[in-house]
Structure 1
Amino acid sequence: MRKITGSLLLALSSVFALSACSSTGDRSGYVVEDRTPEALYADARQAMELGNFTKASQVLEALDSRYPFGPHKTQVQLDLIYAYYKLDDSASALANVDRFIRLNPTHPDIDYVYYMRGLVNMQADSYLFHDMLGIDRTDRDPSNAVAAFRDFETLVKSYPNSRYAPDAQRRMIMLKNRLAEFSLKVAEYYVTMEAWVGAANRAQQVLETYPGTPATERALEIMITSYDELGQEAMRDHSVSVLKATFPDNRVASRY
């Protein structure tokens, strides 16, 4: 296990403190003044430009509740989504995304809202401290990754000319690889348990659902081993031929 140095521990403690503030949405100690909607929105925008998303979210929340039909009502909702995203407040961000889509299904910026929902779900799937320490946690619950993939897929299919579509497509590739790795981890677990039917089926799922991902090579190896253990020679030989054709330098394939 990698040794954690004193400097890294100090850095982590600082990041943990910042994360705690953002994730809990601690907005105590600041009272939003009773001002016109124009003045409050100017305050919110200034706070966002300065990176003070805690203050910005509180002012925007006040605007949203005090002036629900004000001149900036839809922009306030859009800014709230972004502010919550920056605060890593996934629950609030997703709640506001869903509300916006429900109330403004034909809004000109609806593509941006779907894009933000994908970003929020993708953010909820990641874990900063595992990444910082180089810990592989591809075995964690993939539900947020699945949701993010669907959000980006909706954006790309429904709004192919959106300015956010190219980045959404890139993120879909990343998410596809992440989901393939999760299925591969499940297949590996079945191998350790010598549950060969489960291992073969899960590895087959990687090939069928996530073709072209880096996980497919190992999935084919698991299928070969599993079918060998099950005495399914025809299925084993077919998997060997696919592995040889796709990955000719593979060591497992060279044994057959």
Structure 2
Amino acid sequence: MSLLKLRPSLLILATVVAISGCQSGSKRKQELAYVERPVEQLYNAAAVQLDKRNYPRAILLFNEVERQHPYSEWARKSMVMTAYANYQARDYDEAISSAQSYLSLHPGGSEADYAYYLIACSYFDQIVDIGRDQRTTELALAALQDVTRRYPDSSYARDASLKIDMVNDQLAGKEMEIGRWYLRSNQTLAAVNRFKTVVTTYDTTSHTPEALHRLVESYLTLGLRDQALAAGATLGYNYPTSVWYKMSYRLLTKEGLDPEAVAPKRTLIQKILPGGK
């Protein structure tokens, strides 16, 4: 965040910061007593506290920049720095709110790309394991895609692309978990829909080979031999050395089906879907 700090050559004047505490519920909020100070002094004092990882004090001082000098360039930058300090403090809701406030007031500001990125990272860092609701994961995906769409050539977009791959793998994992549960519960058609989602929507993730194998299992259970053969052939064509293909191959050959005899085609995946041509 050094790009937004004033240069060290500027003198940081010593200040006495008056802190008044007020109780709000179970949280103690701190506020600065109003003492008019130059914008450079306030901003630099906030940056010093940020470097020291004293995030509550940094937030107070950045907010004071906005309060005392609301129309200055430093006030605009302080909004983003407040979002960053909240993010570093793992107060993700406040980080998102601060970044969104900046974007609503300065949609074309020079820090807008970073504000979008902070929102995405705040959602991304809250992603939970696949055993729980994935609403936050979906919000993270949308926010990360927003970064890559708006700023495709930025360093933020490059990092967002890497995170998108991780998010897709997470969402695919959730689909697989639900699909396996349906399969164990003998709700085979419901399981098929989950595995198809992985194959068609999250086909670049690590879950695709297993999803194809589960489709082979499911289609054989339903008596849909052509679809099972197509899924197995697709699995063998794309992942010939995987353990999932070996398992599918055994299942299919027991049914007198040979996935290796099916000519691989780019559109073979269509045959996996019921009604595919």
**TM-score range with shorter-chain normalisation?**
0.7 to 0.9
Partner Cα distance (1:154, 1:45) in 2: 29
Give 1:67 shift.
3.9
Give 1:65 shift.
3.8
User: When the two structures are superposed, what TM-score results if normalisation uses the length of structure 2?
Assistant: 0.74
Correspondence for 1:178 among 163, 170, 174:
170
- In structure 2, do the counterparts of structure 1 residues 48 and 187 end up closer, same or farther at CA, with 3 Å as the change threshold? same
Partner Cα distance (1:160, 1:211) in 2: 23
Contact 1:84 1:92 survives alignment (8 Å): yes
Q: Does 1:40 align with 2:50?
A: no
Hey, which of these two has a bigger chunk of helix by percent? 1
Bigger RCO (CA 8 Å, 6+ sep)? 1
SS of the residue 1:124 aligns to:
coil
Q: 1:21 — aligned with what?
A: none
Hey, which of these two has a bigger chunk of strand by percent? 2
Q: 1:234 — aligned with what?
A: 226
Q: Does 1:243 align with 2:235?
A: yes
Contact 1:25 1:54 survives alignment (8 Å): no
1:14-36 Cα deviation digits (max 9, x unpaired): xxxxxxxxxx9966577556241
- In structure 2, do the counterparts of structure 1 residues 112 and 102 end up closer, same or farther at CA, with 3 Å as the change threshold? same
Percentage of matched positions with identical amino acids: 22
User: When the two structures are superposed, what TM-score results if normalisation uses the length of structure 1?
Assistant: 0.80
Partner Cα distance (2:96, 2:181) in 1: 33
SS of the residue 1:81 aligns to:
helix
Give 1:192 shift.
1.8
Structure 2 residue runs of 5 or longer lacking an equivalent are 1-24, 253-277
Q: 1:253 — aligned with what?
A: 248
The one-letter code of the counterpart of 1:254 is: Y
Deviates more, 1:29-38 or 1:166-175: 29-38
Q: Please, what is the CA RMSD of the aligned residues?
A: 2.1
Larger radius of gyration: 2
Q: Does 1:153 align with 2:145?
A: yes
Q: 1:64 — aligned with what?
A: 66
Contact 2:66 2:76 survives alignment (8 Å): no
Give 1:93 shift.
1.1
Partner Cα distance (1:35, 1:25) in 2: 31
Contact 1:32 1:58 survives alignment (8 Å): no
SS of the residue 2:246 aligns to:
coil
Contact 1:27 1:55 survives alignment (8 Å): no
Q: 1:118 — aligned with what?
A: 120
Q: 1:131 — aligned with what?
A: none
